Amino acid sequence: MAIITTTRRTERFSGTTPPTCKYWLAGRCNRNPCKFLHSLSTLPSNVHNANMTYMHSKNPHLSAEKMASSSVKKPTNCAPKAFKKPANCARKAVECGSETMSVEKPTQCEQMDISIEKTESVEEVATVAKSPMEKSRSICKYWMTDNCVHGDLCQNLHSWFYGDGFTTLAKLHEHKKVVTGIALPAGSDKLYSGSTDGTVRAWDCNTGHCVNMIHLNSEVTSLISEGPWIFAGVKNAVKVWNIQTGADVTLDGPKGQVLSLNVGNDILLAGAEDGVIYAWRYSSDPKPESPFELVATLSGHTKPVVCLAIGCYKMLYSGSMDHSIKVWDLNTLQCTMTLNGHTDVVTSLLCWEDYLLSSSYDCTVNVWVCTEEGTLKVAYTHTDKNAILGLYGMTDADAKPILFCSCQDNSVRMYELPTFLERGRLFTRREVRSFAIGPGGLFFTGDGTGLLNVWRWLEEPKVPTS
């Protein structure tokens, strides 16, 4: 009995050419180094293709293509090996890679015909190997740390984004902790950012350099701008600066950390850790001590208020850790209704035309519409695999509304509204906690590492193929 064996996978190949790695051919080899070939070099005669089981041909010059296309006649004296072992056939074991193949050698057949289970020509194998693998929509965590060994064969993305038309212009490294707010005051060439490291920084938009830093001795948990004014939410107060006059004001009153800020109907609104929304009205004829006067406290939430949005008809929407959304009339500063559509913290609110969009740690985005009775109901729910931390909106080159969803998996997904067709993704080392839109297709993201990313949308992105 003739027995032909090749070296096992656990042994070194010495003096012979190792076989081609079948996992590499399929684009799935994760060994580095791999003891098998990652190429399509000619194999030795004693090493068989792992994808082919065959018997000796009566015509040694028959090509693989002819074998695949020719009609195959089974030997009359040998039963198919898939069902039973021939009585008069010697059996030899051939081990290739990590698989063992059974090859039947007829000894009493006058004419040795060919039995083929699967045949592929070298050209066909090369085509499969060279064809691009479909990339996943997740970034390679090893590439992020320059440790990926798969190179172009890696099935995960080696890019900070996917979707044509995006580019990263700058990465601003100065903050030491989470960037919680980004502001671009009107008429200024400075970008402002606030962080839980207790600082507000001013950046030159032309050079990308930090030109000023303000120490507040308290975590900055929200930051916005309105006209020449910059507002920063800190513990038990809102810090206010006027970039034109240099005025510096502290608004006391909130209890705990100020987690959200917004301006509507000439009223500054601050959502605090105690579940109360504080309202200051701006006066054009200010008193000497402050141009802002506390005019109301809006109570109703039972837990911290984490997001605020201003809608049409002078309506204020507030989202809270109590899982609810409340609707307030900015003329009367009274609550008009409570919306219960989430099962976890309401993380963000966004008004788009006549719709209200809300996100939550329950991994959903709810689209609310106004009914004939004047109430709001959920018209559509988009569900993701990860908690959604923030919602932001802008338009593309064709003025189509694009929704940016910051997710807990350190990505920002972009959807076309109202279809929620995915247009691309951005990736960061930590979750994105702040977002701002600039001129000329610019937008900015701040993440959990303290990094400010400057992005540009060069052209209309193409819809990725699934």
DSSP string, 43-87: PPTTS--TT------S-TT--HHHHHHS-----TTS--TTT---T
The Cα 214–Cα 237 span in angstroms is 16
Mean pLDDT of the region 337-358: 95
Q: Residue 88 contacts by C-beta under 8 Å, 6 or more apart in sequence?
A: 77, 78, 106, 107, 108
Q: What is the per-residue pLDDT across 316-331, written as a single tens digit (0 to 9) for each?
A: 999 999 999 999 999 9
As a dihedral over the C-alpha atoms of residue 201, residue 202, residue 204, residue 210, rounded to 10 degrees, the angle is: -30
Q: What is the mean pLDDT of residues 365-384?
A: 93
Percentage of residues in the chain having pLDDT higher than 70: 66
Asked whether residue 99 carries a pLDDT value surpassing 80, the answer given is: no
The answer to whether residues 344 and 360 touch, using CB atoms and an 8 Å cutoff, is yes
Q: What is the pLDDT of residue 18?
A: 74
Q: How far is Cα 272 from Cα 261, in angstroms, rounded to an integer?
A: 9
Lowest-confidence region among 26-35, 69-78, 168-177, 205-214 = 69-78
Least-confidence region, from 164-178, 367-381, 398-412: 164-178
pLDDT at 215 over 70: yes
pLDDT at 38 over 60: yes
How large is the average pLDDT for residues 8-22? Answer: 59
Can you tell me the distance from the alpha carbon of 138 to that of 410, in angstroms, rounded to the nearest whole number? 10
Report for 215-224, 397-406, 413-422: range of highest mean pLDDT: 215-224
pLDDT reported for residue 40:
61
Tell me what pLDDT residue 287 has: 61
| pLDDT tens digits, 196-210 | 999 999 999 888 899
Evaluate whether 177 touches 189 at the Cβ level (below 8 Å).
no
Of the candidates 168, 229, 176, the residue with the CA atom closest to the CA atom of residue 201: 176
Q: Is the pLDDT of residue 286 over 70?
A: no
Q: Of residues 377 and 67, which shows the higher confidence score?
A: 377
pLDDT at 31: 77
Strand partners, 318: 308, 326
Q: What is the pTM of this model?
A: 0.67
Q: What is the pLDDT of residue 365?
A: 97
How many helices and strands (H and E) does the chain possess? 4, 29
* Least confident among 42-46, 224-228, 301-305, 376-380: 42-46
Angstrom distance (rounded) from CA 115 to CA 76: 12
**Which strand (E) or helix (H) includes residue 143?**
helix 141-144
For the ranges 5-19, 82-96, 194-208, the one whose mean pLDDT is highest: 194-208
pLDDT of residue 362: 96
Residue 440 has what pLDDT?
78
Percent of the chain at pLDDT > 90 equals 42
> Which of the given ranges, 60-74, 115-129, 444-458, has the highest pLDDT on average?
444-458
- Calculate the average pLDDT of the chain: 76
Q: With cut-offs at 50, 70 and 90, classify the pLDDT of residue 315.
A: very high
Cα–chain center distance at 287: 48
Does the structure show a pLDDT above 60 at 96? no
**Looking at 296-300, 302-306, 340-344, 448-452, which range is the least confident one?**
448-452
DSSP secondary structure of 389-404: EEEEEEE-TT--EEEE
Higher pLDDT, 443 or 232: 232
Distance CA 139, CA 127 (A): 26
Better-scored residue on pLDDT, 257 or 457: 257
pLDDT of residue 223: 96
- Confidence label for 106 from pLDDT (cuts 50, 70 and 90): very low
**Residue 372, burial from CB neighbour count under 10 angstroms (0-12, 13-18, 19+):** exposed
Tens digit of each residue's pLDDT (9 = 90 or more) over 129-178: 334 445 566 767 665 566 666 666 676 665 556 665 677 788 898 999 99
- For residue 257, pLDDT over 50 is answered with yes
Least confident piece of the model among 26-40, 89-103, 401-415: 89-103
In this predicted structure, what is the pLDDT of residue 4?
A: 41
Question: pLDDT tens digit string along 107-119?
Answer: 443 444 433 344 3
Contact 205, 187 (CB under 8 A): no
Whether the predicted pLDDT of 30 surpasses 70:
yes
